[in-house]
Structure 1
Amino acid sequence: MATRPPRQPLSTLLALCTLAAILGSSHAYSGGVAEQDANASVHAERDHAQAPPPSCAGGTPGADDRCGLGHDDDCCASLPVPGGTFNRLNDPRYPASVSSFHLDKYMVTVGRFRRYLEETGGPTQASPPPAGAGAHPKIPDSGWDAAWNTMLPATTAEMKRALVCDPYGWPTWTDAPAANEDKPIVCATWLELFAFCAWDGGRLPTQAEMNYAAAGGDEQRLYPWGSSPITSEDAAFCCQGEGTTSLPCEDAFPPWSLIHCTTDDLAPVGSFPRGAGRWGQLDLAGEAYKVTRDAADDDRPLVPCDDCSRLDNHAALRVAHGGSFVAAGYRQTTTYRAPYETDGRHYYVSAMCARDLPGP
């Protein structure tokens, strides 16, 4: 068990930090899909691709076959999510259909993101993604917008400096490979996470896809594992990721997080197998918020919705799901979502890539 650093006087902590913006407006969702064999999904291989994604081609730490609690799983594993129809906002007035797709088993790790930077130097203004990259095959104009290029860091060195964000927080990036390679990459912008998934042969999931997978389709789970209350064995939340309980459990923003959290509270990906979703994905709750393709500036559901996404390429906010290691339990539910700045950098936000089934 990790040893916590000495607690600093509250007056000192208050002087060091500014209040973080509280993520969120909560929304409920539910789903509908034919019964599937969850156990088969948990052990499914990447049957839609023979070669590993580019981020795992090098077999380096955090991008190898040593992810998960047993350190024996493919860090780039991607599992099928069968399509179906469900009700957004847990409201029959807002039905939506989602086509079958794959969702990565794990969040993007530091090691995988490092591979991206080493191979491409990007995403930067000098090496942006190609226009249209990372598109949803059924959603026109959902790929990379060249107008975003100017919002990227000018150089790789500038981006690496920016990945060490929030001086009172816990960035996972280090300039040289270190102990965090199998932890989620945080402090990356929505644009950089979009670019990573596109380069890796995938894309950001839509809001509907992300929640559909987390809620287990027609099982309409309150948490990815079901309806049982969240505990420190299910997910990294409320600064309990390293195994200790921090009470009272408040929304862990400064100064509370500075008193109760440590760098160990953000765990390596896949550390909580008891919290697996219906189709085998891990960390759908906790660890770090998972960003989606959707804009959050307008919160109204799109009707009708058949593989829909609120695009708005000029949006200042994006929808994120799944709670984080510093957030209270109610933010880890599948009924909760939160806005995240398009160009924001936070130590509690990351991503999980979606992938599309091969054509006939």
Structure 2
Amino acid sequence: MSRSFVLSLVLPLLFLFSCQSNPEKADEVKRKQDSMASCEKNLPGRFGATRDTSTFSTNKVDHAGMVYIPAGEFNMGAADQEGGEDEYPQHPVKLNSFWIDVTEVTNADFKRFTGATGYVTTAERKPDWEEMKKQLPAGTPKPPDSVFVAASLVFHQPKSITTLNDASQWWSWVKGADWEHPQGPKSNINGKENYPVVHVSWDDAMAYCKWAGKRLPTEAEWEFAARGGIKNALYPWGNEAVEKGLSKANTWQGNFPLKNTGKDGFYGLVAVKKFKPNGYGLYDMAGNVWEWCSDWYRPDYYQTLSRVTANPQGPTDSYDPMEPTVPKKVVRGGSFMCNASYCKGYRVTSRMKTSTDTGLEHTGFRCVSSN
């Protein structure tokens, strides 16, 4: 049996994003299915290891760089027909007031954290077989030791592809890629202090939040904030399509993943605050990087909510029918890779999911505080 065949059996798809396609044509259902397959099929997996953050000191929360969101009620979930199945039904939610970071946590922010705590991110540590096999079918053979290296997933623009259903054509597992080396060991973040920190797992984000005296937003808090006070808005800026008018977010323009025209002035990750904020003064609630939320992911969660729900915390456990053994958290907001023909993750209601131990070149986070 070849090594590649063994790995094809062993490597779980630990990074899974569900994407929504453009449903404006008659074959809407098929296009949604094709889009989901293209995002999820054959993407390299992460061998994870959790980290106990209980020994970290918790600082007193500082509201500098945060915006106060007054208590309110809104209809959560999609009201139009463009959403994925997990965005329905729309349901009423009531939230207490909270504070939220104006931008995603930046490299400068994260460097202060690691400098103060000595924290080592998931991507910087060798995978742990004991943790990994908990997410695999019983009896799965251990892969070769050469597989267990500190690494992370890096995007690369291919010259050609055979199908959009194989994301491994534009994602590479790069040894030495981490938050300080976003494209691999020869890259760095010099001069990029104001870029969102990336290659951070949910565990890494939680560690930072605890140190800062904050927490990750719930899905409901994130969506309420992203809407910017606009009722049933499709995007943080309103309802105008991202491709029309002035550039509104860092997304992919052109033919994904082969050509990015750079109409918005950028071709990859960019510094925060390059686009106008939404109605609450929050930057980059769409595009640039995906943002971790605190909630576990279940595709049927909204179906369990009928009456007004106060401060929902999400389901009590995780379930993804595509990978039932892999616990996953929700990520929101889309990234620089989102394109209307491939993935409209920049919609305020789009729900994505990924395993807690996964970090990628386009995934970051922002924090909230209850007081």
In structure 1, the partner of 2:95 is: 98
CA distance in 2, matches of 1:308, 1:333: 20
SS in structure 1 opposite 2:68? strand
Identity %: 24
Q: Select the residue among 322, 335, 339 that pairs with 1:324.
A: 335
CA distance in 1, matches of 2:315, 2:116: 29
Q: Select the residue among 71, 76, 98 that pairs with 1:83.
A: 71
The alpha-carbon deviation at position 215 of structure 1 amounts to: 1.4
| 1:226 pairs with 2:226 | no
CA distance in 1, matches of 2:192, 2:151: 13
CA distance in 1, matches of 2:272, 2:231: 25
- Contact persistence 2:15–2:354 (CA under 8 A): no
The alpha-carbon deviation at position 95 of structure 1 amounts to: 1.3
Provide the TM-score with structure 2 as the length reference.
0.58
In structure 2, the partner of 1:111 is: 108
- Cα 1:99–1:320, aligned 2, differ >3 Å: closer, same or farther? same
- Contact persistence 2:152–2:178 (CA under 8 A): yes
In structure 2, the partner of 1:212 is: 224
The alpha-carbon deviation at position 194 of structure 1 amounts to: 1.5
**Equivalent AA in structure 2 for residue 86 of structure 1:** F
Q: Select the residue among 244, 254, 264 that pairs with 1:247.
A: 254
CA distance in 1, matches of 2:198, 2:291: 10
RMSD (CA atoms) = 3.7
CA distance in 1, matches of 2:269, 2:121: 27
- Cα 1:211–1:181, aligned 2, differ >3 Å: closer, same or farther? same
| 1:308 pairs with 2:308 | no
- Cα 1:279–1:181, aligned 2, differ >3 Å: closer, same or farther? same
- Contact persistence 1:110–1:183 (CA under 8 A): yes
In structure 2, the partner of 1:269 is: 272
CA distance in 1, matches of 2:236, 2:70: 16
In structure 2, the partner of 1:140 is: none
CA distance in 2, matches of 1:294, 1:268: 27
In structure 2, the partner of 1:295 is: 296
Greater Cα offset, 332-341 or 90-99: 90-99
Instruction: Could you tell me which runs of 5 or more consecutive residues in structure 1 were left unpaired when the two chains were aligned.
Output: 1-18, 28-52, 58-73, 126-147, 152-160, 239-245
- Cα 1:213–1:93, aligned 2, differ >3 Å: closer, same or farther? closer
CA distance in 2, matches of 1:331, 1:283: 13
In structure 2, the partner of 1:9 is: none
- Cα 1:348–1:342, aligned 2, differ >3 Å: closer, same or farther? same
- Contact persistence 2:16–2:354 (CA under 8 A): no
In structure 2, the partner of 1:343 is: 357
- Cα 1:164–1:23, aligned 2, differ >3 Å: closer, same or farther? closer
- Cα 1:350–1:177, aligned 2, differ >3 Å: closer, same or farther? closer
The alpha-carbon deviation at position 187 of structure 1 amounts to: 0.8
- Cα 1:339–1:309, aligned 2, differ >3 Å: closer, same or farther? same
Q: Deviations over 1:20-40 (max 9, x none)?
A: 96622559xxxxxxxxxxxxx
Paired residues, what number?
249
CA distance in 2, matches of 1:299, 1:193: 25
| 1:200 pairs with 2:212 | yes
**Equivalent AA in structure 1 for residue 247 of structure 2:** E
- Cα 1:80–1:26, aligned 2, differ >3 Å: closer, same or farther? farther
The alpha-carbon deviation at position 202 of structure 1 amounts to: 1.0
Q: Deviations over 1:151-187 (max 9, x none)?
A: 9xxxxxxxxx957643746865249761222111111
Q: Deviations over 1:57-83 (max 9, x none)?
A: 9xxxxxxxxxxxxxxxx9x51001122
**Equivalent AA in structure 2 for residue 117 of structure 1:** T
The alpha-carbon deviation at position 114 of structure 1 amounts to: 1.1
CA distance in 2, matches of 1:332, 1:197: 24
- Cα 1:343–1:280, aligned 2, differ >3 Å: closer, same or farther? same
SS in structure 1 opposite 2:73? strand
CA distance in 2, matches of 1:269, 1:21: 25
- Cα 1:327–1:55, aligned 2, differ >3 Å: closer, same or farther? farther
The alpha-carbon deviation at position 220 of structure 1 amounts to: 2.1
**Equivalent AA in structure 2 for residue 326 of structure 1:** M
The alpha-carbon deviation at position 201 of structure 1 amounts to: 1.8
